[in-house]
Amino acid sequence: MAEPKYSFDSEKLSYEKITPSFRQRASKILRNALMFCAIVLGVFVLLSVLFDTPDEKIQKRENKQLQYQYEMLTQKVGKMEENMDEIQQHDDNIHRLIFGTEKAAAGQNQDSARQLSLIGKSNSDIIQETSGTIDNLMDRIASQKELLDNLMKLVQDKEKQLASIPSISPIGEKNSKYLASGYGYHMHPIYRTLKMHSGIDLTAPRGSLVYSTGNGQVVTAGSSPDYGYHVIIDHGYGLKTLYAHLDKISVKRGQRLQRGDAVGEVGSTGRSSAPHLHYEVRKNNKTENPVNYYFSDLTPEEYKRILDESNTMTMSFD
């Protein structure tokens, strides 16, 4: 309890007790209350700065966990992009080495490396940045998928093309690997003049089976004065083969054949001096040396011998 205050009365020459008015008392109480509130508020602010509330601790822990997860996600995306770079490099090598072509651009390889810290970034910035990284990666994956689809088409077409190339002997018997006459200018057996021989003559007994040397479709299966019974197969890619002087034809026009399918039998029909097979390879309707297409069923020594024989000036059988 506050001690009473006194004032000196000069007229009465005595001390009199001071009694504050109601207004003065109320003002003092209010001033003290405000001072108390200010002190309490200051203490609260100081504590809130120095110490986290339970909710703030939870929030900070969640933010730290979110930052760690974001860093891990960024590292995984970076690793995926490195793998995409390797896939694109392999794709380039396949196109260049196997198909002899350059791969179409799959889009620019942009560096999408991200900062691993979330400090100073809002949630919307984090979401936008992560979304941009993933969108970029998805675009690259889509582009690479399209390129791989095109690559598969090239592989299938190349496989089809290789299967269509006339690359085996048209006669299966072992003695068919000996040429009676090769490609080029030879003495004609009937006219006794030097004449261009547009194919090769393979000796074989009458009735020996003749095989398609590549996949294709029969475009001619008939007879003519020069070739006798003969078959022409269109292999696609500008390649055709002709099998002439047959004794018998085993296929029909329009029939599709696989390499090794029988097309007829060796004979001596048409302008022929002995049983044999006259075999031609035509590229874009121009004849080429069939020996250049012999590679599937010959040893290097046999191929060299046939090549030497094809360049020897002899008399042809037709």
CB atoms within 10 A of CB 295: 12
Question: Residue 61 burial by CB count (10 A; 0-12/13-18/19+): exposed, middle or buried?
Answer: exposed
Alpha carbon distance 184, 196 (integer Å): 5
Residues 6+ positions from 132 with CB-CB distance below 8 Å? 112
Burial 36-49 (b: 16+ CB within 10 A, else e): eeeeeeeeeeeeee
Greater pLDDT, 296 or 136: 136
Tens digit of each residue's pLDDT (9 = 90 or more) over 282-291: 999 999 988 8
CA 281, 207, 218: angle at the middle one, nearest 5? Answer: 40
What is the Cα gyration radius of the chain? 49
End-to-end CA distance of the chain: 145
Q: Write the CA distances from 122 to 72, 114, 118, integer angstroms.
A: 19, 15, 8
Tokens of 281: 């390879």
The pLDDT, as a whole number, for residue 108 is 44
- Fold of domain 174-310: Glucose Permease (Domain IIA) (2.70.70)
Would you place residue 243 in the very low, low, confident or very high pLDDT band (cuts 50, 70, 90)? very high
Residue 255 pLDDT greater than 80, yes or no: yes
Task: For the chain, give the percent of residues with pLDDT over 70.
Answer: 67
Alpha carbon distance 97, 148 (integer Å): 16
CA 210, 213, 218: angle at the middle one, nearest 5? Answer: 80
Amino acid at 317: F
Eight-class DSSP state of 173 = S
Q: What is the pTM of this model?
A: 0.54
The pLDDT, as a whole number, for residue 121 is 62
Would you place residue 107 in the very low, low, confident or very high pLDDT band (cuts 50, 70, 90)? very low
Mean pLDDT on 52-57: 72
Alpha carbon distance 82, 269 (integer Å): 67
The pLDDT, as a whole number, for residue 61 is 80
Greater pLDDT, 15 or 109: 15
Residue 241 pLDDT greater than 60, yes or no: yes
Residue 171 pLDDT greater than 60, yes or no: yes
CB atoms within 10 A of CB 263: 25
Alpha carbon distance 241, 220 (integer Å): 10
Mean pLDDT on 298-312: 60
Greater pLDDT, 115 or 256: 256
Name the residue among 271, 169, 175, 278 with its Cα closest to residue 228.
271
The three state secondary structure string of 268-294 is: CCCCCCCCEEEEEEEECCEEECHHHHC
Q: Which of 88-97, 124-133, 216-225 is the most confident on average?
A: 216-225
Would you place residue 249 in the very low, low, confident or very high pLDDT band (cuts 50, 70, 90)? very high
The pLDDT, as a whole number, for residue 113 is 44
Alpha carbon distance 195, 312 (integer Å): 14
Mean pLDDT on 21-46: 79
Eight-class DSSP state of 112 = -
Question: Residue 149 burial by CB count (10 A; 0-12/13-18/19+): exposed, middle or buried?
Answer: exposed
Which residue reads 């072509």 in tokens? 101
- The lowest-confidence range among 76-80, 239-243, 263-267, 271-275 is 76-80
CA 249, 254, 259: angle at the middle one, nearest 5? Answer: 70
Tens digit of each residue's pLDDT (9 = 90 or more) over 83-102: 777 777 767 766 666 666 66
